Structure 1
């Protein structure tokens, strides 16, 4: 029963933080530390439950995602925008994946990236950028590629993929809602690919005895992420990114105090 309690808690944390600009990695590291859930099995579990969060995006934006599969390049948001946004992180990730996993997945890195990511979010809010894309269909190919460049920052654990892409979107001329929605859509292929690669590399750690444990975390992350995404989009329209940046600074202090 204790193991399933851990799965539920970790699933809740993953679902709440994956698409908020607060770093799900930082939260999972801190939560795993307090629960005594660390090691290779914990890393594999964290990768697996990310797929539950991704499924929530697919459910919420299924109509938009279905339209992207039609490969219509004539008007509005299309698969080309997603491919351009994915390209930079794919190239950088493939080249530096092993180095990042080996040298950067430490609490010290998370502390630094939490702070730097928070500063980027504050900078994005303070800069008076003209909004040229107020809906997803207004997004240009150039803006999609530029957001993809910002997404490369998320390869550093603790930076937050949504934080990097939403702040990047604002800096290149999208409004908050468009930046967030595009961030969620790009997350689906990116995270499925990244999580799939990690799972293939760590499949030896998986056991049939862990099926119930892993599925509990997956389902919990899915349900919580559904609620978190809808709530975040409403919240973002009211309070913007700055409060999340300040929260990141507090989290950085907690990680430094308890894990370094």
Structure 2
């Protein structure tokens, strides 16, 4: 593994960290950057390349786990109420519950398990990503146009079980590479009457168990690729993804309620146009 290949791992980790939680499709960006510029397939087999993408995605997910660490401690019943929580009949009164997160995970989790092989085999290409970018962008614009101007759900703790399940159904769109997990769930949440920040918080929290589970299964299936020669490549991508994602999460959550979804949708359409003319 030479220095150029390590730099490519760092670049892909940065791309993953920047785009995993913005509604622009991290998978789409990685496919595009790799297929068109970095060409890691020249020195990685397809299974090894897919394993690397899982590794850097894991870096981003651990960044979310770190950022929301107090929230996850509460969800697991391992800590007390956070500062500012209203008193109630129990430690979780008026708070987002672990069961609500689980309800939101069920639809995409089931479909993902059923169609994992088909998605990996047929949908990971620049052309399919292009389609996902455009349709996802139109969905985001629709959410900003048709979502309530004064949403009733201002914080993640006001989300109901029905809304959690509905957001989980919207998350199924993200199984198409390029559609974007955060794009589909934040847009769905806005249409359901959530503020952009509440929908984003729930999206990030829900992403952790979903992606940890998917990543864990994938890593167990592809453990043979963690050889001494490949470890520097994997570690470089993982570290860069974790650091950049940690910065990006804070920036995005401060931004989303101010600029909404349309600017991200416009970016996606412009990006799709560039890809179309480069293919």
**TM bin (shorter chain):** over 0.9
Give the TM-score of the pair, scaled to structure 2.
Answer: 0.89
Deviation at 1:128, TM superposition (A): 3.9
Which residue, out of 139, 162, 166, partners 1:120? 139
Distance in 1 (CA, whole Å) between partners of 2:124 and 2:38 is 19
Distance in 2 (CA, whole Å) between partners of 1:10 and 1:234 is 25
Which residue, out of 17, 20, 38, partners 1:18? 20
2:29 aligns with 27
CA gap of 1:134–1:202, structure 2 versus 1, over 3 A, is same
CA gap of 1:128–1:3, structure 2 versus 1, over 3 A, is closer
CA gap of 1:141–1:91, structure 2 versus 1, over 3 A, is same
Within 5 A, what are the aligned runs for 1:43-192? 43-70=50-77, 74-129=93-148, 131-192=151-212
2:201 matches 1:201: no
Which residue, out of 228, 239, 243, partners 2:263? 243
Q: Which runs of 5+ in 2 are unaligned?
A: 79-90
1:81-108 per-position Cα deviation (integer Å, ceiling 9, x unaligned): 1001000011111111112222212222
2:5 matches 1:3: yes
2:231 aligns with 211
Deviation at 1:113, TM superposition (A): 0.7
- Single out whichever of 42-51 and 65-74 deviates more from structure 2: 65-74
Distance in 1 (CA, whole Å) between partners of 2:227 and 2:277 is 34
Deviation at 1:42, TM superposition (A): 2.1
1:234 aligns with 254
Deviation at 1:73, TM superposition (A): 6.2
* Runs of 4+, deviation exceeding 6 Å: none
- Single out whichever of 233-242 and 34-43 deviates more from structure 2: 34-43
Distance in 1 (CA, whole Å) between partners of 2:154 and 2:33 is 37
Please state whether the residue corresponding to 2:229 is helix, strand or coil: helix
Distance in 1 (CA, whole Å) between partners of 2:215 and 2:178 is 16
Deviation at 1:74, TM superposition (A): 4.6
1:42 aligns with 49
- Single out whichever of 34-43 and 61-70 deviates more from structure 2: 34-43
Q: Which runs of 5+ in 1 are unaligned?
A: none
Root-mean-square deviation (CA, aligned residues, Å) is 1.5
Tell me if the contact between 2:107 and 2:172 (Cα under 8 Å) persists in the aligned partners: yes
Tell me if the contact between 1:154 and 1:161 (Cα under 8 Å) persists in the aligned partners: yes
Deviation at 1:195, TM superposition (A): 1.5
Distance in 1 (CA, whole Å) between partners of 2:219 and 2:23 is 24
